[in-house]
Structure 1
């Protein structure tokens, strides 16, 4: 780590953007050195100003709001937008989330589509869910296609949403067995919504054998996770 730090610092000080990004991340993560977010931001900004999409994305993440931290949404949007314009799918997704929270739904939807076009599962899940939420019949085929792609990438929220579609027959032929399969996949990863949905199927004997004890076990498991 000492050698890596020395090499990154030497490259960063001579203006190499990749080294500046690496040094910034070393400080950000406290790798072999005391964590220092200010020093991290300084070097990341130098790299970002030279066009490093990785550094731009890192600065977006540093400034993005999260639980117990208000962040700086305007700065996060600015950095994510730069990285997104260079094709960073994760930045496109986070930019879409922030824009949507600010009520800029059309702009957010456009960036979601760009991220989904790169098979970025969280974007496929969010876009698919949004399209389902419109309640329009014509939006359902695209929504199902997106959720199916995301579910195949083990995106838990997509598995639950797609399971709900099969359980209720939304945009697909009602298929309790398929719903149960999707819920089971997410339940194995301890998704509480999947556990509760699967419990409902066991209660009713839909797609799985009727089993009140199994249903109660799943509900108890879900409660412990909440």
Structure 2
């Protein structure tokens, strides 16, 4: 973590990779960010989405938020507004109070692009979702 805070992203990526591979959700989220932004590793949205998904499935709200944005933009994953909304709903519900309002605004902005049926489908997916631990 100190390498990341020092913005030594090459070293940070070397530290995060083995942790992420062992299922550490926080390391997976940080690694997703590094791949999304191309810091310390080559930029790769597909790789970013994979790491975000692994962390998001474990309930990491930052990863859920980032994965939702990738689905909204179609970066690293096929563009899917319903899946974007699902992850943004989950992220907003699980986020700490200091970021909840800003995440809700983004979620609501995505919702304005959706039909009522899509909104209902996204809410149902979010309600049916349950976190899972990697083994």
Do both proteins adopt the same fold according to a TM-score greater than 0.5, normalized to the shorter chain?
A: yes
Partner of 2:64: 159
Aligned length in residues: 113
Q: Which protein, 1 or 2, shows the higher relative CO under an 8 Å CA cutoff with sep ≥ 6? A: 2
Query: Which residue in the other structure is 2:77 paired with?
Result: 172
Which among 163, 182, 200 is matched to residue 109 of structure 2? 200
- Which consecutive residues of structure 1, in runs of 5 or more, have no partner in the other structure? 1-96, 210-226
TM-score normalised per structure 1: 0.45
Post-superposition offset of 1:196? 1.4
Q: For the structure 1 residues 182 and 152, does the alpha-carbon distance in structure 2 shift closer, same or farther, using more than 3 Å as the test? A: same
Q: How does 1:60-75 map to 2 (within 5 A)?
A: none
In 2, the alpha carbon distance for the partners of 1:131 and 1:98 equals 18
Q: Work out whether residues 85 and 111 of structure 2, in 8 Å CA contact, stay in contact via their aligned partners in 1.
A: no
Contact 1:160 1:193 in 2 (8 A): no
137-146 or 172-181: bigger deviation: 137-146
Are the aligned partners of 2:88 and 2:103 in contact in 1 as well (CA < 8 Å)? yes
CA shift for structure 1 position 141 = 2.0
Q: Compared with structure 1, are the counterparts of its residues 205 and 137 closer, same or farther at alpha carbon in structure 2 (3 Å cutoff)?
A: farther
Deviation at 1:138, TM superposition (A): 6.5
Aligned to 1:80: none
| Correspondence 1:114 to 2:25 | no
Partner of 1:100: 4
TM superposition shift of 1:193? 3.7
Note the C-alpha offset of 1:204.
3.0
Counterpart among 77, 89, 96 of residue 184 in structure 1 = 89
Deviates further, 102-111 or 112-121: 102-111
| Cα drift, residue 130 of structure 1 | 1.0
Q: Distance in 1 between matches of 2:26 and 2:14?
A: 15
Question: Corresponding residue for 1:61?
Answer: none
Q: Any stretches of 5+ residues in structure 2 without a counterpart?
A: 121-135
CA RMSD of aligned residues (A): 2.3
The question of 1:127 aligning with 2:38 is answered no
